């Protein structure tokens, strides 16, 4: 039996996201996907899913959802005041939910703008071009291609067989992604760093920028010292990598994020390290950003660390699930005892679903 | 460009490299982009996530946990050096039926006025020359077409429309193009195709790929409606053929 969530209040911007619609940029299809992919992975692992499963990305003011059926949920990422039946509930933990339960968010607690709410079995919307991520501008993927609205009814996929054994499993502090609001955002110069003066590049890496109000899933426009081009700010269109710091003629940087267009005609001074994009994505308009010069090697190292944190969490989940079972055995339908009689002797065989 | 200068390989963060063949809008240069894309697609390397061709460069997205950057760079240099001279005149031609004028092309009169050509002549020139798809981008399925008869060049509308229906065929300056999805825009709309240029649920979602040639074919309203019905029923076969050298 899947779990159902009925949307009572949609929140500011609640969308279904997974790891993104990779593989179709050659046809102009933006990637979309979770703005904090590690929060998505952690929430999913806690809810008993694969790290890449589709979940709800919650932005600043979260939704109110009513539960039908039984299952588990987990919230990771920013603390947006997650509540179960009106009472504050823990993040980074697999929580059992029952029919009639209400999930809600009381408001951001100041440590970031985006949370991920994962449900056991993932969010069951059709995969479009290989992904369940919502790309709102073209109304593709997710729930009807749009953010959630009051009255929507979301279904989970089939519950993972071991979801009950995952209940109360939580992510240790050491495996939670760090989203320091003061941390510099590291970036690799290129692909058009040579279109800027030396002073221009120094300005980018030596100044404080403020995230403007024009900051969304497509990109964050920054305000601060102008970055000087050598000559033209426009180029013959080329690809816009995830995290590209695009600088049009006005000299103000725009960091291109999950919903960015695939190609564009502005110079890109640098590209933010993939692992630091989530750090940036958790900041909100009015907050400050400093860019720091980095290397592809550092970016690769951070991504390897991220992958090993997720692998470690999956390992801990396996250990947690195989702990000696507590409570009454009939609550775990995946195991039991059989009495077998063979050549006059009776054996008790314990079995467990894997 | 008889010599074959090595492309530049540009840093684009920790998960992408850009192979840049030049900085111009040029078919010969774009042919190299397509050739490298084909070479990498035919002999895929583990760890390459996807390839994004543009006018003059190929973006190679990769997973740094699966392929070493230096190794990938070497592979790209090697493949780029081995592209051969390949012609620029071959490729696939895709026929796109268009119903011109009337409610399908509300700005055909603007184009006639600006170019001082009668409608029949605008149609004849728009359908008379194949255009080349350099790349897709801007919105899902939008093909950047080059090579329209320049006598048709007309500036964009002064007041862009809030919604342009998918399939609209327009002119903006020296460019022509097809709106793949409903979107706002300022192009002069001269007609509409009954085909769904981009459909995320179809395989493949796009009818036109980078490196294809597009031939617009005029159809009347009855033809438009018949093709639209057939396309919806899944019985329409897209007309394509191989372009001959020197065509």
Q: What are phi and psi of B74, to 5 degrees?
A: -60, -45
A147, pLDDT greater than 50: yes
CA-based nearest residue in chain B for residue A259: B139
The confidence band for B4, taking pLDDT boundaries of 50, 70 and 90, is low
Average pLDDT, chain B: 93
Q: What are the tens digits of pLDDT across the range A74-116?
A: 999 999 999 999 999 999 999 999 999 999 999 999 999 999 9
CB A104 within 8 A of CB A86: yes
Residue A328: per-residue pLDDT: 47
**Chain A interface, best mutation among B37, B68, B137, B141, by max A CB count within 10 A:** B137
Mean pLDDT calculated for residue range A310-316: 98
Establish whether the linkage from the previous residue to B204 is cis, with ω within 30° of 0.
yes
Q: What are the tens digits of pLDDT across the range B85-139?
A: 555 667 899 999 999 999 999 999 999 999 999 999 999 999 999 999 999 998 9
A211 Cβ contact list (under 8 Å, min separation 6)? A220, A221, A222, A283, A284, A285, A286, A287, A288, A289
% of chain B residues with pLDDT over 70: 95
Residue B246: per-residue pLDDT: 60
The count of other CB atoms within 10 Å of the CB of residue B160 is: 11
A30, A138, A300: residue with CB nearest B64: A300
The confidence band for A331, taking pLDDT boundaries of 50, 70 and 90, is very low
CA distance A139 to chain B (A): 10
From CA A302, how far away is CA A148, in angstroms rounded? 33
Are B11 and A190 within 8 A, CB to CB?
yes
Residue A68: per-residue pLDDT: 97
- Note the CATH number of domain B92-242: 2.40.100.10
Residue B85: per-residue pLDDT: 57
Tell whether A140 lies on the interface with B, counting CB pairs under 8 A: yes
Q: Which two tokens stand for residue B22?
A: 């030049």
CA distance B20 to chain A (A): 9
Q: What are the tens digits of pLDDT across the range B7-46?
A: 999 999 999 999 999 999 999 999 999 999 999 999 889 9
CA-based nearest residue in chain B for residue A265: B138
The confidence band for A143, taking pLDDT boundaries of 50, 70 and 90, is very high
Pairing of strands A185-189, A288-293: parallel
Are A238 and B24 within 8 A, CB to CB?
no
From CA A48, how far away is CA B228, in angstroms rounded? 46
DSSP 8-state secondary structure symbol assigned to residue B56:
S
A28, pLDDT greater than 70: yes
Class of domain A185-296: mainly beta
ipTM: 0.93
**Which of A8-17, A77-86, B180-189 is least confident?**
B180-189
Residue A329: per-residue pLDDT: 47
- Give chain A as a 3 state SS string: CCCEEEEEECCCCCEEECCCCCCCHHHCCCCCCCCCHHHHHHHHHHCCCCCCCCEEEEECCCCEEEEECCEEEEEEECCCCEEECCEECCCCECEEECCCCEEEECCCCCCCCEEEEEECCCECCCCECCECCCEHHHCECCCCCCCCCCCCEEEECCCCCCHHHHCCCECCHHHCCCCCCCCCEEEEECCCHHHECHHHHHHHHHCEEEEEEEECCCEEEEECCCCCECCCCEEEEEECCCCEEECCCCCCCEEECCCCCCEEEECEEEEECHHHHHHHHCCCCCCEEEEEECCHHHHHHHHHHHHHHHHHHHHHHHHHHCCCCCCCHHHCCCEEEEEEEECCEEEEEEEECC
Rg (CA), chain B: 20
Are B64 and A187 within 8 A, CB to CB?
no
Q: What are the tens digits of pLDDT across the range A31-71?
A: 999 999 999 999 999 999 999 999 999 999 999 999 999 99
Tell whether A238 lies on the interface with B, counting CB pairs under 8 A: yes
% of chain A residues with pLDDT over 70: 94
Residue B87: per-residue pLDDT: 59
The confidence band for A1, taking pLDDT boundaries of 50, 70 and 90, is confident
DSSP 8-state secondary structure symbol assigned to residue B158:
S
% of chain B residues with pLDDT over 90: 88
Q: Which two tokens stand for residue A34?
A: 């979770």
B2, pLDDT greater than 60: no
Adjacent-strand bridge partners of B247 = none
From CA A296, how far away is CA B61, in angstroms rounded? 13
CA distance B41 to chain A (A): 12
Query: Counting beta carbons within 10 angstroms of the beta carbon of residue A72, is it exposed (0 to 12), middle (13 to 18) or buried (19 or more)?
Result: buried
Tell whether A304 lies on the interface with B, counting CB pairs under 8 A: yes
- Note the CATH number of domain B8-81: 3.30.1360.40
Q: What are phi and psi of B246, to 5 degrees?
A: 80, 5
Are A23 and B14 within 8 A, CB to CB?
no
Tell me the C-alpha to C-alpha distance, in Å, between residue A242 and each of B14, B58, B244: 10, 15, 39
Tell whether A41 lies on the interface with B, counting CB pairs under 8 A: no
Q: What are the tens digits of pLDDT across the range A222-275?
A: 999 999 999 988 999 999 999 999 999 999 999 999 999 999 999 999 999 999
| CA B143 from centre of chain | 3
A127, pLDDT greater than 50: yes
Tell whether A242 lies on the interface with B, counting CB pairs under 8 A: yes
CA-based nearest residue in chain A for residue B25: A236
Are B14 and A239 within 8 A, CB to CB?
no
Query: In chain B, which residues have their Cβ closer than 8 Å to the Cβ of A52?
Result: none
**Where do you find CATH 2.40.100.10 in chain A?**
185-296
**Chain B interface, best mutation among A28, A276, A291, by max B CB count within 10 A:** A28
CA-based nearest residue in chain B for residue A145: B200
Are A274 and B14 within 8 A, CB to CB?
yes
Are B201 and A238 within 8 A, CB to CB?
no
Residue A271: per-residue pLDDT: 98
């Amino acid at each position: 039996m899947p779990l159902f969530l009925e949307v009572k209040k949609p929140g500011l911007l609640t969308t279904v996201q997974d790891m993104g619609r990779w593989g179709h940029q050659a046809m102009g299809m933006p990637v979309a996907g979770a703005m904090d992919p590690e929060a998505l992975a952690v929430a999913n692992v806690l809810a008993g899913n694969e790290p890449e499963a589709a979940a709800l990305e919650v932005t600043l003011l979260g939704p109110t959802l009513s539960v039908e059926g039984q299952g588990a949920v987990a919230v990771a990422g920013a603390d947006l005041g997650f509540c179960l039946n009106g009472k504050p509930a823990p993040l980074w933990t697999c929580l059992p939910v029952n029919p009639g339960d209400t999930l809600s968010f009381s408001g951001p607690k100041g440590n970031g703008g985006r949370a991920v709410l994962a449900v056991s079995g993932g969010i069951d919307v059709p995969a479009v071009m290989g992904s369940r991520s919502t790309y709102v501008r073209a109304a593709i993927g997710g729930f009807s291609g749009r953010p959630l609205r009051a009255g929507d009814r979301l279904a989970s996929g089939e519950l993972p067989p071991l979801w009950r054994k995952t209940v109360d499993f939580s992510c240790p502090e050491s495996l939670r992604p760090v989203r320091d609001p003061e941390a510099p955002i590291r970036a690799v110069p290129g692909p058009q760093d040579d279109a800027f003066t030396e002073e221009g590049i120094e300005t980018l890496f030596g100044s404080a920028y403020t995230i403007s109000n024009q900051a969304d899933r497509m990109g964050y426009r920054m305000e601060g010292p102008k970055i000087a081009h050598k000559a033209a700010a426009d180029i013959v269109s080329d690809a816009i990598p995830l995290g590209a710091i695009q600088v049009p003629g006005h000299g103000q940087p725009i960091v291109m994020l999950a919903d960015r267009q695939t190609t564009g005609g502005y110079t890109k001074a640098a590209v933010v390290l993939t692992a630091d994009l989530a750090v940036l994505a958790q900041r909100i308009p009015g907050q400050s950003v400093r860019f720091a010069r980095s290397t592809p090697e550092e970016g690769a190292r951070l991504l390897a660390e991220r992958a090993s944190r997720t692998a470690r969490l999956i390992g801990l989940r396996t250990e947690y699930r195989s702990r000696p079972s507590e409570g009454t055995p009939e609550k775990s339908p995946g195991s039991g005892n059989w009495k077998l009689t063979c050549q006059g002797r009776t054996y008790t065989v314990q079995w467990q679903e894997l | 460009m008889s010599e074959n200068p090595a492309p530049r390989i540009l840093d684009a963060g920790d998960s992408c490299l850009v192979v840049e063949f030049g900085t111009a809008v040029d078919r010969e240069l774009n042919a190299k982009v397509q050739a490298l894309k084909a070479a990498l697609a035919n002999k895929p390397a583990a760890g390459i996530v996807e390839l994004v061709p543009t006018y003059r460069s190929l973006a190679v997205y990769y997973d740094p946990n699966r392929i070493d950057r230096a190794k990938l760079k070497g592979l790209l240099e090697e493949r780029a050096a081995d592209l051969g001279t390949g012609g620029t005149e071959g490729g696939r031609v895709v026929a796109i039926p268009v119903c011109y004028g009337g409610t399908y092309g509300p700005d055909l009169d603007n184009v006639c006025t600006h170019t001082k050509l009668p409608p029949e002549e605008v149609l004849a020139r728009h359908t008379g020359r194949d255009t080349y798809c350099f790349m897709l981008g801007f919105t899902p399925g939008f093909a950047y077409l080059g090579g329209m008869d320049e006598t048709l060049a007309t500036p964009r509308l002064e007041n862009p429309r809030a919604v342009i229906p998918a399939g609209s065929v327009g002119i903006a300056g020296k460019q022509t193009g097809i709106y793949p999805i409903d979107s706002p825009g300022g192009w002069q709309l001269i007609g509409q195709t009954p085909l769904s240029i981009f459909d995320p649920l179809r395989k493949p979602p796009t009818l036109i790929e980078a490196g294809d040639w597009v031939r617009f074919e005029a159809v009347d309203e009855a033809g438009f409606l018949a093709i639209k019905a057939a396309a919806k029923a899944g019985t329409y076969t897209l007309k394509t053929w191989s372009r001959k050298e020197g065509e």
